Amino acid sequence: MTNRIACLLCLLLLPLALSARNVDLATVPERRTVQLTIYNSEDLTLVRESRVVTFKKGVNPLQFSWANTLIDPTSVELKFRTPQTGLEMLDTTFPHDKPQALYWSVQSDADREATIEISYFTSGISWAADYLAIADIDEKTLRLESFVRVTNLSGEDYESAQVRLVVGAINLVEKIAELAKLPVGRLDELKREEYKDLRQRAARKMMAPAAPAPMMAMEMAVGAAADMDAPKEIIKEGLSEYFIYTIEGTETVPNGWAKRLRSFEADAVPMGVEYRYRPREYGDQLTRLYLLKNDTASKLGSTPLPDGVIQIFRANATDGQAGLSYLATQHLQYVPMGDKIELNLGVDRLVVFEQVKQKVYRDNLWFQIKGGNLYRKLGEDGLKLELDSQVAGWDEHTVYRQRIRNYSPKPIHAQIRRDYAGDIVFRSQLNPTLHDFQTVQFEADIPAGGKAELDYAVIARMGYNQKQNRVELQNGEAGR
Amino acid sequence: MNRTRLFYPLGVLLLLSAGPLDALARIKLTTLPVRERVQIHLDHPQATLVEEERIVPLVKGVNQVDFSWANTRIDPDTLVLRMLPPPADQPLDAKVLSVSYPPNENALIWSVSASASGAARVRISYVLGGLSKDFHYRAVADRDEKTLELAQYLRVNNHANEAYDLARLQTGVGVGFDKPLGLNETREVQTHRFAGVPVRKTYTSDPVKFGYLDRAQDKLNVPMHYVIKNAGSPLGTAALPEGKARIFQDDGQGGSAFLGEDRGPFTPPDDELELYLGLARDIVVRRTIDRNERQRIAGNLYRYDVTVKYEIENFKDTPATLNIVESVRQIRDQIKGNPDRDPEWRLGDGTLRNPDPEKSDADQLLFHVDLPARPAGGPAPKQTQTLRLTLNNEW
């Protein structure tokens, strides 16, 4: 058990300036509730905890300390939940002799019990999404499970905490972990504007709706467990540019531990298989991909998919008895709702992808005459074989054959993109399209056990002949 | 959090505690569900997937199932626990609620909710390092080197620091098989035996790939290969994984002679597997550039006429076929330097005019030349072949 954060009500009702004393008596109000809002894009967690404190009429010193934790001291705030009147926070003191502590002076107009809320930023608590994808044996549908894993390395145990996870990137000008190490007296070393910006941006909590009272959440969890405990639901809500996942009920994540919960599962998600040759994206290889969509038609799409590692398997039989085949592990980038999901499975060794350069020839040769501005084409009438004339421009024809052999037991669809720099004519009968001004795309379907031979010619206008920097598509025979 | 732990290389502990994880810090009673079935999937080129089935007794409510691994290289991110469907007469609904990862331990704890007390069959899968495989081959050619017997072996190397009493090994090639796999054990099994596989013995001259035996005398190396096409009966049904092949020949006396060994690449169906046997010393090939003439077309634009001459002698008492391989680019670079452009060429009227269309392209040319046997008691006949090339549009 690691509880390093303490809130003490000091029973010495002396002015704090005179508190250079050796004997103290204090009561330690326990946490009643705690809520963690964890951001995955930054090492940042907003902690809101409530405690019940008894105040006496007059000025009450209240000490809050956090030895060996990663709390940003500038972020600690005190609020009075109940009652909301009759209590006033007079000032906050950061004592020089206690580096990870502060004192609040609280003015109470009567002897009373009050519920206070303390909020602060800490680092060391993180969450990450991860995914498990199991394709069926036919690779027509896929089961997708999403998980969230909360890891607590903050130095503090958080018991029975309501956990909220923020999906989306926020901006911080300083890392909370760095602020945690910085004495409060040196915070003015930060530029005022930067500091203000930090607080404003990080404190987007203000935008968040009030969380359900933790006690209520616990009751809901107990109610659900009456018959059989079900995996906790993770409620997803959109908020500005962010998504907030709220884990049902409460969770205890001791310091040093991590906990993983299922975020959602979707069965029989429709998927397709495509083979792609895109050297800029996947390297110089024909790459196999699973393609699906994060939309409602695919039984997904209720939430964006946060960044995370995805493990991809394929079932070897419909009944699950033959087990799984491991296909790949990859990092899935953030997928907005409605966007496509591409799972890269790497090279399929049962699909052979070969490019053969079949022929090279040059024509349309132009000469620069005597190094001047006069250019003449080879073969023009009256061209003299000047010794000091130089080849200045030509068309270079290269004829290729793209062979694809499919030895897998399923028909495949292949999409090929090739980039060409310069003034290029791409001549073929492959019905190609331009992906961009210098990238040609063409496609082919190859039956199981079949082959495809895709012929095309690339005509590069070189030197003086180069007038453009783009690819032109021409329909025609590839060979001369 | 301190916990009393029972470690063994790969363990599944059922903690009979339905309380929070804090309870694990105290005395605990555990059951140790043994493996009922293990499958080891070796079909992925880089990773080995292990799946084990265990029967886990559960009590109604929330159960903690502790999985730990000491001194093994399990990738914890790949660990998956799946509940298998229960028998119809013992319905038991069990679900994984959460997974907890204790600090500084190779372990995790699944929280499993059960609708009733009973035994649940679970399948735990994970990617395991240190468990690798390789294939190797043994080829025995017959006396006339026309066919051979090819045996394929799988070798599983268990350096994962975990023993499996009985595991179903799935290689992705053919059907799986059941074998025990002990600690630090290497187990080898024959996965296929192909009899009567047609084989072609080839002799090759290729100055770029195999170089010269004696450069001063223009003598090329002439490597020998057995070429096995992965097509037709009995091959051609599946790819041949890469692996070392040891090559023998029937010695006609009930034994076999070792001819050499080579590392064969991954060979999909329809492709040829070439196994290098060493250099032939009884076939001599001398290669010279016999002619190199330059003709100016215009300005600095030239045409080159080049003739490559081969003088070939077969000292063997059997006929052979020589594969002559040339790189036109290498010839062009040799006679005029490398302008960093592909050569533009056409074949001239030399003796070598019909390159193999399947294995020739814009740069490489392959010709097959038949070599008659040396007559008994006579000298080896010498034959001369010429490759005439016109290199156009060079500057």
Q: How far apart are CA B149 and CA B316, in angstroms?
A: 25
Task: For chain A, say whether B98 makes contact (Cβ under 8 Å).
Answer: yes
* Contact status of B1 with chain A (Cβ, < 8 Å): yes
> Averaged over B94-108, what is the pLDDT?
90
Q: Which secondary structure element, helix H or strand E, spans residue B330, and what is its range?
A: helix B328-336
Nearest beta carbon to residue B39 from set A232, A323, A327: A323
Spatial separation of the C-alpha atoms in residues A109 and A86, rounded to whole Å: 5
Antiparallel, parallel or unpaired: β A77-82 and B131-141 = unpaired
Nearest C-alpha neighbor of A147 from the set A35, A297, A299, A261: A261
Put simply, whether A130 touches B (Cβ < 8 Å) is yes
Contact between A375 and B298 under an 8 Å Cβ cutoff? The reply is no
Q: How many CB atoms lie within 10 A of CB A158?
A: 28
pTM comes to 0.84
pLDDT band at B227 (very low <50, low <70, confident <90, very high): very high
B299: nearest CB among A256, A359, A385: A385
| Chain A nearest-CA residue for B121 | A321
Q: Where are the domains of chain A?
A: 5-31+48-122, 125-266, 287-347, 351-475
The mean pLDDT of chain A is 83
Tokens 């670079």: give the residue. Answer: B333
Contact across the interface for A407 and B268, Cβ inside 8 Å? yes
Q: Say whether B93 and A325 touch across the interface (CB within 8 A).
A: no
Task: Indicate the residue of B77, B82, B363 with minimum beta-carbon distance to A357.
Answer: B363
**Chain A contact present for B80, CB below 8 A:** yes
Judged by a CB distance cut-off of 8 A, whether residue A437 touches chain B is no
Report the chain A residue with the minimal C-alpha distance to residue B114. A228
Q: What is the pLDDT of residues B166-178, one digit of tens each?
A: 898 888 776 788 8
pLDDT of residue A229: 75
**Residue in A407, A453, A455 to test binding to B, most B beta-carbons within 10 Å:** A407
Residue type at A136 in one-letter notation: D
Say if CB A60 and CB A9 are below 8 A apart.
Answer: yes
**CB pair distance less than 8 Å for B269 and A407:** yes
Asked whether the beta carbons of A276 and A343 are under 8 A apart, the reply is no
Longest CA span, chain A = 114
Tokens standing for residue B247: 């090559």
Cβ distance A440 to A432 under 8 Å?
A: yes
Q: What is the DSSP string of A19-75?
A: ---S---EE-PPEEEEEEEEETTTTEEEEEEEEEEEE-SEEEEEEEEETTS-B-GGG
Whether B23 shows a pLDDT value over 50: the answer reads no
Q: With an 8 Å Cβ cutoff, are A349 and B115 in contact?
A: no
CA distance B177 to A317: 17
Q: Name chain B contacts of A405, Cβ cutoff 8 Å.
A: 268, 270
Question: What pLDDT was estimated at residue B84?
Answer: 87
B249, pLDDT greater than 90: yes
SS3 content of chain A, % helix, strand, coil (to 5): 10, 55, 35
- Judged by CB atoms closer than 8 Å, whether chains meet at B77 and A329 is answered as yes
Minimal Cα–Cα distance from A228 to chain B, Å? 5
CB A471 within 8 A of CB A440: yes
A58-66 sheet: strands from edge to edge? A26-27, A5-10, A58-66, A101-108, A87-93
Cα A118 to Cα A71: distance, rounded to the nearest angstrom: 12
| Chain B residues lying within 8 Å of A155, measured CB to CB | none
Q: Do B21 and A257 touch (CB under 8 A)?
A: yes
- Closest by Cα among B46, B10, B9, B41 to A323: B41
CA distance A132 to A130: 7
Q: Looking at the partner chain, which of A309, A349, A367 has a beta carbon nearest the beta carbon of B298?
A: A367
Give the side-chain half-sphere CA count within 13 A for A174: 25
Q: How far apart are CA B147 and CA B140, in angstroms?
A: 9
Side chain identity at B179, as an amino acid letter? K
Report the alpha-carbon distance of residue A183 to residue A179 in Å, rounded.
8
Q: pLDDT tens across A423-464, in order? A: 999 999 999 999 999 999 999 999 998 999 999 999 999 999
In tens digits, chain A (480 residues) has pLDDT values of 556 677 666 544 444 444 445 565 667 788 899 999 998 777 889 999 999 999 999 999 999 888 888 888 888 999 999 888 899 999 999 888 877 889 999 999 999 999 999 999 988 999 999 999 999 999 999 999 999 999 999 888 888 999 989 887 766 666 656 656 656 555 555 454 454 444 444 444 433 444 333 333 333 333 333 467 777 888 877 777 778 888 888 888 899 999 998 888 999 999 999 999 999 999 999 999 999 999 999 999 888 899 999 999 999 875 556 688 899 999 999 999 999 999 999 999 999 999 999 999 999 999 998 888 989 898 876 666 677 889 999 999 999 999 999 999 899 999 999 999 999 999 999 999 999 999 999 999 999 989 999 999 999 999 999 999 999 999 999 975
Residue A410's pLDDT is 93
**Contact residues, chain A, for B271 at CB < 8 Å:** 352
Residue A222's SS3 state is helix
Amino acid symbol at A284: D
Closest CA to B66 of B123, B125, B120, B24: B24
Q: Is B49 close to A396, i.e. CB distance below 8 A? A: no
Partners of residue B95 in chain A, C-beta under 8 Å: 228-231
* Residue of chain B with shortest Cα separation from A233: B97
Q: Do A463 and A393 touch, CB atoms closer than 8 A?
A: yes
Give me the residue from A130, A230, A391 closest to B395, CB to CB. Answer: A391
Cα distance between residue B274 and residue B45, in whole Å: 22
pLDDT tens digit sequence for B300-359: 999 999 999 999 999 999 999 999 999 999 999 999 998 889 999 999 999 999 999 999
What is the per-residue DSSP string for B109-138?
EEEEEESSSEEEEEEEEEEEETEEEEEEEE
Among candidates A323, A360, A386 on the partner chain, residue whose Cβ is nearest the Cβ of B299 = A386
pLDDT of residue A1: 54
- Provide the pLDDT confidence category of residue B238 given band limits of 50, 70 and 90: confident
Sheet holding B212-214, edge to edge: B212-214, B219-220, B283-298, B301-314, B382-394, B344-347
Identify whether B87 is preceded by a cis peptide bond (ω within 30 of 0). no
**Mutate which of A228, A285, A309, A327 to disrupt the B interface (most B C-beta within 10 Å)?**
A228
The fold for domain B283-394 equals Immunoglobulin-like (2.60.40)
Q: How far apart are CA A9 and CA A65, in angstroms?
A: 11
Domain ranges of chain B: 10-129, 131-196, 283-394
Residue A26, pLDDT score: 65
- pLDDT at residue A29 in the model: 82
Structure tokens at B54: 């265990």
Tokens standing for residue B182: 């002990």
Interface test with B, best of A145, A313, A326 (most B CBs within 10 A): A326
- What is the rounded distance in angstroms from the CA atom of residue A460 to the CA atom of residue A437? 14
Distance, in Å, from the CA atom of B279 to the CA atom of B277, rounded to the nearest integer, reads: 7
Burial classification of residue A203, based on how many CB atoms lie within 10 Å of its CB (0-12 exposed, 13-18 middle, 19 or more buried): middle
Is residue B357 within 8 angstroms of chain A, CB to CB?
Answer: no
Residue whose token pair is 């296929």: B192
CB contact (8 A) between residue B343 and residue A360: yes
* C-alpha to C-alpha distance for A292 and A286, rounded to whole angstroms: 19
- Which alpha helices (H) appear in A172-229, and where do they start and end? 176-181, 192-202, 214-224
Q: Does residue B322 or residue B21 have the better pLDDT? A: B322
Q: What is the Cα–Cα distance from A160 to A221, expressed in whole angstroms?
A: 12
Joined together, the tokens standing for residue B250 give 């029937």
Lowest mean pLDDT among A213-217, B94-98, B362-366, B381-385: A213-217
Q: Which of B44, B267, B301 to mutate to test the interface with A (most CBs of A within 10 A)?
A: B301
**A261, A349, A360, A378: which to substitute to probe chain B, counting the most B Cβ within 10 Å?**
A360
Cβ-defined contact of B45 to A229 (cutoff 8 Å): no
The shortest CB-CB distance from B95 to any of A230, A252, A357 is to A230
Using the beta-carbon criterion (under 8 Å), do B362 and A323 form an inter-chain contact? no
Strands A272-277 vs B243-250: parallel, antiparallel or unpaired = unpaired
Question: What is the 3-class SS of B178-221, one letter each residue?
Answer: EEEECCCCEEEEEEEEEEEEECEEEEEECCCCCCEEECCCCEEC
Rg of chain B in Å (alpha carbons): 32
Nearest CA in chain B to A353: B268
Q: Which residues of B touch A350 (CB under 8 A)?
A: 239, 268
Interface contact B300-A390, CB threshold 8 A:
yes
Contacts of B19 (CB under 8 A, 6+ apart): none
Cβ atoms within 10 A of the Cβ of A135, count? 25
Which residues in chain A have Cβ-Cβ distances shorter than 8 Å to B93? 228
Q: Give the one of A229, A252, A313 whose C-beta lies nearest to B21's C-beta.
A: A252
Nearest to A326 among B1, B47, B239 (CB): B47
Amino acid letter, A96: H
The burial of B395, by beta-carbon neighbours within 10 Å (0-12 exposed, 13-18 middle, 19 or more buried), is given as middle
A318 interfacial to chain B (CB closer than 8 Å): no
**CA nearest to A42, candidates A127, A157, A162:** A127
For the stretch A221-245, pLDDT in tens is 333 334 677 778 888 777 777 788 8
What is residue A210's predicted lDDT score, i.e. its pLDDT?
A: 41
Chain B neighbors of A227, CB-CB under 8 A: 115
